């Protein structure tokens, strides 16, 4: 992150919440599902699809999990009622994973079954290293129950990700489905890369690995070196817009998915690149966060994502660039 970006992050974090709310409006769809639906309807005209995240994560008791269970039911209803091209992103700790694993499994299975009735996919967001393996275990367990509308996120900054991809693919075959990203959780150098280039190099390698294993690759990055590498990797493998997935070991076709891959970006970040990819025919998905926990989400993005810091700088000093 440059000096100007660091300065703007520091200034923004010292500002009143109402000021932060003005900045966050670019990156958060609003406080409730009706706000999120309005944003998605507007962006649908750009050929985008969506994954919806109710903001909030680790809870302190199981009663708090009921809020997320109920809210995601409302999200499912909204997707169906508004005929949105959208799936769900959930954080397993919000469903009780670190409090009562058995109950968390029950809560997540219930959501998956409800989503499956409407052919809606559910992505398990990856949180910090404490729950990396438990999150993967949930995906494997749900597939064993016949629930194939679920996949996980893997973070390329973690050393273990290469072996995790192989392990999951060995167990799920072509039904393995990954969102691969750099990762926003800053982990200790003993278990993760901490510098930009090694993380980018790892992510590029993981894109290759996922494609070569026949799994679905949701490439979640705003970094041009990663996007350009992914485009080359797809072309080399005969994959791309208007082409059937040529990989014999892939579970093809997948409802609501691209031909073995898609590009994913955060709401409000690099919309110009996303639109360029969509215009070229690539499936592009926007991560749509909403909820009362918008402030905590915004502060975490400021701390951990230099792209967001620079976009804040531009939106304040060059408001004409502030287009989602």
Residues 187 and 110 in one domain: yes
140 and 233: one domain?
yes
258 & 145 share domain: yes
Same-domain pairing of 137 and 34: yes
Does one domain contain both 47 and 76? yes
Are 224 and 320 members of one domain? no
Residue 2's SS3 state is coil
In tens, the pLDDT along 218-248 reads 999 999 999 999 999 999 999 999 999 999 8
Residue 106 included in any domain: yes
Q: Are strands 122-124 and 216-220 parallel, antiparallel or unpaired?
A: unpaired
Do 10 and 48 fall within a single domain? Answer: no
Please tell me whether residues 19 and 147 are part of one structural domain: no
Distance (Å, whole) CA 250 – CA 181: 21
pLDDT of 24 reads 61
What pLDDT is attached to residue 201?
A: 97
Range of the domain at 207: 29-290
Q: Tell me, yes or no, whether 169 lies in a domain.
A: yes
Shared domain check, 270 and 123: yes
Is 252 in the same domain as 179? Answer: yes
| Tokens standing for residue 30 | 């609003």
| Residue 3 buriedness (CB in 10 A; 0-12 / 13-18 / 19+) | exposed
What's the whole-model pTM score?
0.88
49 to each of 156, 208, 243, 277, how far by Cα in Å? Answer: 24, 24, 19, 13
Whether the pLDDT of residue 302 is over 80: the answer is no
Q: Is residue 83 part of a domain?
A: yes
Q: Establish if 295 belongs to a structural domain.
A: no
One domain for residues 12 and 61:
no
Query: Which pLDDT does position 297 carry in this prediction?
Result: 60
- Say if 108 falls within a structural domain: yes
Residue 315: is its pLDDT beyond 60?
A: no
Model confidence pLDDT, tens digit, residues 184-193: 888 899 999 9
Question: What CATH number is associated with residue 199?
Answer: 3.20.20.220
Domain assignment present for residue 299? The answer is no
Number of separate domains in the chain:
2
Alpha carbons within 13 angstroms on the beta-carbon side of residue 317 total: 9
300 lies in some domain: no
Q: CB under 8 Å to 195, separation ≥6 — which residues?
A: none
């Amino acid at each position: 992150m440059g000096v100007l970006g660091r300065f703007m992050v520091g200034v923004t974090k010292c500002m009143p919440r109402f000021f932060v709310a003005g900045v966050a409006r670019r990156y958060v769809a609003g406080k409730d599902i009706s706000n999120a639906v309005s944003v998605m309807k507007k962006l649908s005209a750009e050929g985008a699809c969506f994954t919806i995240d109710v903001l909030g994560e680790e809870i302190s008791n199981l009663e708090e999990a009921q809020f997320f269970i109920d809210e995601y039911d409302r999200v499912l209803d909204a997707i169906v009622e508004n005929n949105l091209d959208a799936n769900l992103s959930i954080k397993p700790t919000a469903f009780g994973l670190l409090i009562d694993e058995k109950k968390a499994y029950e809560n997540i299975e219930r959501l998956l079954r409800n989503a499956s009735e409407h052919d809606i996919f559910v992505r398990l967001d990856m949180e910090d290293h404490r729950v990396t393996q438990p999150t993967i275990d949930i995906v494997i367990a749900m597939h064993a129950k016949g629930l194939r509308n679920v996949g996980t996120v893997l973070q390329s900054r973690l050393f273990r990700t290469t072996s995790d991809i192989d392990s999951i693919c060995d167990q799920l075959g072509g039904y393995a489905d990954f969102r691969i990203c750099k990762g926003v959780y800053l982990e200790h150098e003993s278990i993760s890369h901490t510098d930009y280039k090694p993380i980018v190099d790892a992510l590029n390698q993981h894109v290759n690995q996922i494609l070569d294993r026949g799994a679905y690759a949701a490439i979640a990055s705003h970094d041009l070196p990663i996007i350009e590498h992914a485009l080359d990797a797809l072309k080399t493998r005969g994959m791309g817009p208007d082409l059937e997935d040529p990989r014999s070991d892939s579970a093809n076709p997948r409802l609501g998915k691209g031909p073995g891959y898609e590009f994913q970006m955060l709401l409000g970040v690099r919309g110009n690149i996303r639109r360029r990819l969509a215009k070229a025919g690539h499936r592009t998905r926007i991560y749509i966060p909403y909820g009362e926990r918008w402030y905590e989400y915004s502060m975490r993005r400021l701390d951990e994502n230099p792209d967001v810091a620079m976009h804040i700088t531009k939106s304040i000093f060059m408001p004409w660039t502030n287009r989602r």
